[in-house]
């Protein structure tokens, strides 16, 4: 009975191979193919990244423990030795990868850039003991980014420009010199604590509802307001951006009152 190479399997011998061919019961799925017993070939870029301290490829190009057991340690070695991590305009980057980097907190990491990562929805670098050498952070053009929390004593420059979905940014960065918010039209809550910030552009933040500025070096004339949409001859005190201007004024008055109490107390 060559036809179809099917044979009869006696009861109790199900799944055994016969002399005429292999018998497979219809109700039994094929066995899974076992993983290779030999470690897959390493990507040459992994060792170069360890040596240079720069990772500038998509996150899914990193070694993964799911592919080989020891690759988890290799992945950690690459990230911990990084001085720069620059992954830009990569559709596969999601919230989990920045969280992984912050958890590892590479001691020599000075620059982190995730510009144009459209699936990134939040970014948290906290507490201040995280990423202690980080100086530059670029999250610009992350279209889905809604929440940012930064606590750092080392950060100098933060770029959040063109983050159109950003609603809340809490920036407690002692030595911050620049924070870019142009194009952040949806931001509603903004809190900045910095001893050094002297200029702040709020011209795009037309929907701002809550503002807290603890920036002793920042004066009112160093803050750029949203442009007026009212008539040209409208007095400055009646311009359409009064909600934002009022928030700024409240912060300036609160700081002045605090300083007054310190000098008289």
Angle value at C-alpha 21, between 17 and 22, nearest 5 degrees = 50
Q: Report the predicted TM-score, pTM, of the whole model to 2 decimal places.
A: 0.79
How many residues does this entry show for the chain? 265
Instruction: State the Cα–Cα distance between residues 253 and 153, nearest whole angstrom.
Output: 26
pLDDT of residue 35: 54
**pLDDT of res. 2:** 42
8 A C-beta contact, residue 104 and residue 130: no
The reported pLDDT for the residue numbered 252 is 81
Check residue 99 and give its pLDDT. 98
- CB neighbour class for 192 (10 Å; exposed up to 12, middle 13-18, buried from 19): buried
Task: Name the region of 127 (left: φ>0; alpha: ψ -120 to 50; beta: rest).
Answer: beta
Q: What is the three-class DSSP state of 151?
A: strand
Q: How far apart are CA 171 and CA 220, in angstroms?
A: 19
Check if the beta carbon of residue 184 is closer than 8 Å to that of residue 161: yes
Chunked into runs of 10 residues, the chain (265 residues) has average pLDDT values of 42 45 45 65 96 97 95 97 97 96 98 97 97 98 98 98 98 97 96 96 93 93 75 43 76 80 75
Work out the burial of residue 52: count CB atoms within 10 Å of its CB; fewer than 13 is exposed, 13-18 middle, 19 or more buried: middle
Distances (CA, A) of 8 to 14, 30, 203: 10, 19, 81
Q: Of the candidates 7, 91, 83, 10, which has an alpha carbon nearest to the alpha carbon of residue 50?
A: 83
Given this model, what pLDDT does residue 107 score?
98
């Amino acid at each position: 009975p060559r036809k179809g190479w099917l044979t009869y399997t006696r009861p109790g011998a199900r799944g055994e191979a016969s002399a005429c061919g292999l018998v497979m019961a219809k109700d039994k799925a094929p066995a899974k193919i076992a993983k290779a017993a030999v470690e897959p070939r390493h990507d040459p870029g992994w060792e170069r990244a360890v040596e240079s301290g720069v990772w500038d490829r998509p996150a899914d190009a990193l070694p993964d423990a799911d592919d080989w057991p020891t690759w988890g340690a290799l992945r950690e070695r690459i990230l911990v030795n990084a001085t720069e991590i620059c992954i830009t305009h990569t559709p596969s980057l999601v919230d989990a990868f920045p969280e992984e980097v912050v958890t590892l907190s590479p001691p020599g990491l000075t620059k982190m850039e995730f510009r144009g990562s459209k699936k990134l929805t939040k970014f948290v670098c906290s507490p201040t003991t995280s990423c202690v050498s980080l100086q530059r952070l670029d999250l610009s053009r992350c279209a889905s980014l809604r929440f940012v929390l930064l606590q750092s004593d080392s950060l100098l420059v933060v770029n959040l420009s063109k983050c159109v979905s950003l609603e809340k940014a809490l920036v407690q960065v002692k030595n911050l010199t620049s924070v870019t918010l142009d194009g952040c039209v949806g931001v509603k809550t903004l809190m900045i604590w910095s001893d050094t910030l002297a200029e702040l552009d709020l011209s795009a933040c037309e929907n701002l509802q809550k503002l807290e500025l603890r920036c002793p070096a920042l004066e009112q004339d160093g803050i750029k307001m949203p442009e007026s949409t009212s008539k040209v001859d409208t007095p400055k005190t009646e311009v359409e951006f009064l909600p934002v201007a009022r928030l700024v004024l409240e912060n300036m008055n609160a700081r002045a009152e605090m300083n007054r109490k310190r000098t008289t107390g």
